[in-house]
């Protein structure tokens, strides 16, 4: 069975097979294509690869596997690079059917959007491994979501505590993206979501919420508040300074200014102001500054969808990121924006936020539908988002099904997602025929245990001394223990599952069990514990630090330790 992700457009089997001993070539063209060829098994006496590569920028290619030759033709280096990825996937098997493939993507833009602000700041090596996977599955754009996690002058006091990317690290990531035909694009909060900036004393006067009282639940507050005041002349100067420091590190065509979820502007409605105009005017100033830097603006589309009458004030080359993360994503959201005649990229999500692993039931429906809507309504691409709300406890390894699904649907928008696709994911991602089923079961178990409620209870216990706690379990503790232990047995017995994914699955499975047991003990349920919170935290810390900077690891540790202490003392009302 031929296992390829993403699906190819046209494939014809010509009869016979080619044994995969190894390959050799004499290609001396684009160095990035040469590097991709080096990832194939090499044998100077193996099968010759001939490449015919034009000088265009297109991504179309043809691949011919013959009895004694592999022939690649492409209109440009990018197409040749993707042809090699197809050959790499074919070469996973002991033999390759003789075949002819002609292929090209449905979308010119096939991106992944990774949150590096709300909990985890990955190491450069971790980002490079992400880029390797993206290239393997023919994705071509990467954005890292940044608020305070770059070495901005204005955030100096914050980054000492949280860690951040340095100028040199961003340049290194950009260079590695270029080697893999991936556009590395800056994404920076410039209007809403400026919690860490506007919490600093020297900038608090720039908040829309002049009478804001600090709330201890900073993971929630970071998402819900802190819009900069568009009416204060100092605001645009501050935003321009952030852009001026960040923009020179990127050679991409676009700069994503974000400008989403400016919730606090609603306060100006109370005074009878035209919030749509207020929003569009400030965004226009940001866009103008980005344009002066030689870049086109990208921005989230949610606020402008509420005020479509203002879109005409922004330049025609502005690209709008139309996001929707629900399983039952409405097509009208994409269709209505298409009727405005403006350039849009559809943005589904991996459903990893506020979780230790992706919610596959949701993400599979969401990503599939949004890509199909975008294809039907003329979107230029798909930017698949991987947010990190509530400390971003989810590892990248447990976001990969969503990444690969996004790669499939952004190359082949109308492909069916079902048993065949899951089999291909097992072969090319998990490397085990049980991989997808284990990921699905892990996702199902997580739906029984709420990290969101677990965190909220922590803030209520630690800071507010509240007694109104919410149960984090949506079933009996015995069921969670049974299901977790059964899946653990399955995972431990699977010798083929990719080790990096297997380790994260086991660690997450225990996290769910730790949460479930600590919660059940807090609420006074009778049961026998099978986990040790502090022992698990030690292993979680090691796994985190192997791939990320310390960032907000200590905050996650505080949540578990406080919960454990409270659980030993019993429910607050019973103390």
Residue 433: inside a domain, yes or no?
A: no
Question: Could you tell me if residue 225 is inside a domain?
Answer: yes
Q: Which of 60, 75, 103 is the last residue of a domain?
A: 103
Collect all residues with Cβ–Cβ distance below 8 Å to 274 and sequence separation of at least 6: none
CA 430 to chain centre: 18
Of the residues 103, 123, 152, the one at which a domain ends: 103
In sign, the C-alpha dihedral spanning 534, 536, 542, 548 is negative
296 and 369 in one domain? yes
Cα 398 to Cα 239, 350, 358, 401: the distances in Å are: 34, 10, 6, 7
How would you write the pLDDT of the chain (575 residues) with one tens digit per residue? 899 999 999 999 999 999 999 999 999 999 999 999 999 999 999 999 999 999 999 999 999 999 999 999 999 999 999 999 999 999 999 999 999 999 999 999 999 999 999 999 999 999 999 999 999 999 999 999 999 999 999 999 888 777 899 999 999 999 999 999 999 999 999 999 999 999 999 999 999 999 898 888 889 998 888 999 999 999 999 999 999 999 999 999 999 999 999 999 999 988 889 999 999 999 999 999 999 999 999 999 999 999 999 999 999 999 999 999 999 999 999 999 999 999 999 999 999 999 999 999 999 999 999 999 999 999 999 999 999 999 999 999 999 999 999 999 999 999 999 999 999 999 999 999 999 999 999 999 999 999 999 999 999 888 877 668 899 999 999 999 999 999 999 999 999 999 999 999 999 999 999 999 999 999 989 999 999 999 999 999 999 999 999 999 999 999 999 998 888 876 554 43
Tell the burial category of 465 from Cβ atoms under 10 Å away from its Cβ (0-12, 13-18, 19+). Answer: exposed
The answer as to whether 179 is a domain residue is: yes
Q: Are both 146 and 87 inside the same structural domain?
A: no
- Judge if 150 and 297 occupy the same domain: yes
One domain for residues 444 and 317: no
Q: How far is CA 243 from CA 187, 250, 291, 366, in A?
A: 10, 11, 11, 32
In a domain, 422, yes or no: no
Q: Is residue 427 part of a domain?
A: no
Please identify, among 50, 82, 103, the residue that sits at the C-terminal boundary of a domain.
Answer: 103
- Domain contains 535: yes
Task: Clarify whether residues 393 and 537 are in a common domain.
Answer: no
Q: What is the domain count for the chain?
A: 3
Residue 95's H or E segment, with its range, is strand 95-103
Tell me whether residue 432 is in a domain. Answer: no
Q: Are residues 136 and 36 in the same domain?
A: no
Whole-prediction pTM: 0.97
> With DSSP H G I counted as helix, E B as strand and the rest as coil, what are the percentages for the chain, rounded to 5?
50, 15, 35
Contact yes or no for 26/69 (Cβ under 8 A)? no
Residues 96 and 126 in one domain: no
The answer to whether residues 398 and 472 belong to one domain is no
Both 272 and 164 in one domain: the answer is yes
**How far apart (Å, rounded) are the C-alpha atoms in residues 35 and 265?**
50
Same domain for 508 and 555, yes or no, is yes
Cα–Cα distance measured from residue 462 to residue 277, given in angstroms and rounded to the nearest whole number: 42
Structure tokens at 149: 């996690």
Which CATH number goes with the domain that contains 53?
3.30.379.10
Same domain flag for 138 and 196: yes
Are 504 and 550 in a shared domain?
yes
Domain that includes residue 33, residue range: 10-103
């Amino acid at each position: 069975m031929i296992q390829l992700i993403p699906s190819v457009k046209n494939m014809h089997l010509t009869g016979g097979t080619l044994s995969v001993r190894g390959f050799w070539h004499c290609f001396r063209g684009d160095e990035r294509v040469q590097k991709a060829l080096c990832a194939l098994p090499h044998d100077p006496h193996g099968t010759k690869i001939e490449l015919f590569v034009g000088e265009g920028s297109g991504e179309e290619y043809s691949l011919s596997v013959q009895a004694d030759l592999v022939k690649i033709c492409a209109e440009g280096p990018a197409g040749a690079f993707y042809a090699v990825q197809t050959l790499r996937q074919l070469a996973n098997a002991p033999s390759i059917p003789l075949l002819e493939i002609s292929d090209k993507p449905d979308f010119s833009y096939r991106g992944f959007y990774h949150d590096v602000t709300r909990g985890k700041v990955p190491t450069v090596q971790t980002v490079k491994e992400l880029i390797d996977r993206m290239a393997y599955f023919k994705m071509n754009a990467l954005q890292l979501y940044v608020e305070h996690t770059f070495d901005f002058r204005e955030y100096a006091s914050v980054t000492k505590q949280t860690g951040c990317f340095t100028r040199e690290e961003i340049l290194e990531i950009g260079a590695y993206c270029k080697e893999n035909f991936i556009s590395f694009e800056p994404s920076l909060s410039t209007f809403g979501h400026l919690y860490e900036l506007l919490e600093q004393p020297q900038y608090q006067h720039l908040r829309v919420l002049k009478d804001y009282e600090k709330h201890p639940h900073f993971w929630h507050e970071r998402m819900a508040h802190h819009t900069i005041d568009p009416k204060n002349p100092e605001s645009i100067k501050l935003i321009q300074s952030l852009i001026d420091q960040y923009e020179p590190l990127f050679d991409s065509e676009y700069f994503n200014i974000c400008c989403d979820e400016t919730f606090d502007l609603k306060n100006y409605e109370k005074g009878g102001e035209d919030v749509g105009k207020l929003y569009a005017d400030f965004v226009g100033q940001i866009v103008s500054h980005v344009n002066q830097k030689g870049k086109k603006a990208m921005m989230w589309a949610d606020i402008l969808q509420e005020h479509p009458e203002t879109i005409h004030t922004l330049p025609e080359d502005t690209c709008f990121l139309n996001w929707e993360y629900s399983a039952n994503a409405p097509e009208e959201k994409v269709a209505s924006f298409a009727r405005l005649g403006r350039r849009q990229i559809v943005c589904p999500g991996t459903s990893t936020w506020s979780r230790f692993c992706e919610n596959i039931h949701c993400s599979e429906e969401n990503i599939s539908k949004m890509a199909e809507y975008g294809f039907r309504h003329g979107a230029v691409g798909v930017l698949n988002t991987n947010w990190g709300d509530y400390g971003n406890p989810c590892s990248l390894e447990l976001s990969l099904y969503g990444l690969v699904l996004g790669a499939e649907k952004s190359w082949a928008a109308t492909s069916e997602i079902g048993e065949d696709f899951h089999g291909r994911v097992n072969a090319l991602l998990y490397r085990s025929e049980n991989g997808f089923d284990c990921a699905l079961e892990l996702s199902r178990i997580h739906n029984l245990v709420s990290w969101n409620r677990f965190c909220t209870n922590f803030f209520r216990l630690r800071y507010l001394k509240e007694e109104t706690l919410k149960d984090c379990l949506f079933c009996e503790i015995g069921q969670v223990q049974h299901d977790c232990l059964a899946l653990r047995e399955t995972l431990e017995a699977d010798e083929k599952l990719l080790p990096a994914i297997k380790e994260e699955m086991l660690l997450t499975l225990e996290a769910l069990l730790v949460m479930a047991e600590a919660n059940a003990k807090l609420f006074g349920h009778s049961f026998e514990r099978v986990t040790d919170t502090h022992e698990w935290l030690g292993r979680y810390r090691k796994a985190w630090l192997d791939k990320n900077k310390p960032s907000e690891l200590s905050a996650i540790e505080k949540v578990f330790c406080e919960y454990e202490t409270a659980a030993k003392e019993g429910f607050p009302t019973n103390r």
